[in-house]
Structure 1
Amino acid sequence: MRTGSCLCGKVRYTIKAEPAAARLCWCRDCQRLASNGTVNAIFPSESIEVRGVVAEYVKTADSGNQVTRRFCPACGSQLFADSTGRLGLTVVRVGTLDDPSSIKPSANIWSASAPPWACMDSELERVERGPVPPAPKKA
């Protein structure tokens, strides 16, 4: 089980599953959210219990999928994202976990969008654009 929260603590969550995947994303949307790449883990949606109110923003991503990003309306922390390209799976921003070191990304994705100064671990797989979505794992 993993737990996490937003910066101000008004939104807390519990995850009762292992991630289907964990990746460092360099798409332009993630760069705009974090001024850098974002480390994201993908979990079965039903395994995540959220306490507190989240706001959401929907946008069409470069992949063509509709992405609903959920964040704390008080402090603005980006917490979750759901995509029409990964039904039943939810992205969790690894930095919001109480123990972010419990997850290690396996790849840099959308690396073609990364700025030249981006620090990418050469031991991680490098995917120029979007990867194939992972299959949902049971909670």
Structure 2
Amino acid sequence: MTALLYTGRCNCGAVTAEITAEPVATRQCWCRQCQKTAAGGPTNNAMFPTDSVTLSGARGEFVYVAASGNTLTQEFCLSCGSPVLGRSSARPQFRTIRIGMLEGDHRLRPAMAIWTDDAPDWAMIDPALERWPQQPPAPMPKPTSQD
């Protein structure tokens, strides 16, 4: 049995997450669609291998073609509307979990800001973050140790 590394839940607790891997990337996204999801600011996300994420609870989906040309699916709790995750047709090997969904002192924070060309002029982007004006290349999965 693989140990749980992260757990999460939406605001009302109807949707829960169990994650058994470390993220392959942590990002802050300033694309226009994410700004709409996050009430004007960026979404803050952790990308995990798909097979390490187990979700339960009723979720709705919003599917659209993003500026990158990829089909994106954003999932949210049907009861409270909390953003849960994003999926990209170009990266089915990952699930992008909204960092705010994670419980406890997980210590995850964005390491990179993406789609910064779309950020509003008042945006405060941490200068310590790696920046990408649009979509960066897909992250490489981290090697797993074999005992």
Q: Same fold (TM over 0.5)?
A: yes
Runs of 5+ unmatched residues, structure 1: none
Cα distance, 1:136 vs. partner?
Answer: 3.3
SS of structure 2 residue aligned to 1:102: coil
Please point out which of 13, 16, 23 is paired with 1:19.
23
- Structure 1 position 120 matched with structure 2 position 125: yes
The equivalent position to 2:102 in structure 1, one of 77, 82, 97, is: 97
Matches within 5 A, 1:46-65: 46-65=51-70
Counterparts of 1:40 and 1:100, CA distance in 2: 15
Cα displacement (A) at 1:137? 4.1
Query: What residue identity is the alignment partner of 1:118?
Result: A
How many aligned residue pairs are there? 139
CA RMSD of aligned residues (A): 1.4
| C-alpha spacing 1:100/1:68, structure 2 compared with 1 (3 Å) | farther
Question: For residues 48-71 of structure 1, what are the alpha-carbon distances to aligned partners after superposition, in whole Å with 9 as ceiling and x for unaligned?
Answer: 111211111111011000011111
Counterpart position of 1:4: 8
The percentage of counterpart residues that share the same residue type is 42
Contact 2:66 2:72 in 1 (8 A): yes
Q: Larger relative contact order (C-alpha < 8 A, sep ≥ 6)?
A: 1
Whole-Å Cα distance in 1 between the matches of residues 60 and 138 of structure 2? 25
- Contiguous gaps of at least 5 residues in structure 2: none
Runs of 4+ more than 3 Å apart: 136-139
For residues 57 and 26 of structure 1, the distance between their equivalents in structure 2, rounded to whole angstroms, comes to 18
2:86 equivalent to 1:81: yes
Tell me which structure has the larger Cα radius of gyration. 2
Q: What TM-score do you get using the length of structure 1 for normalisation?
A: 0.94
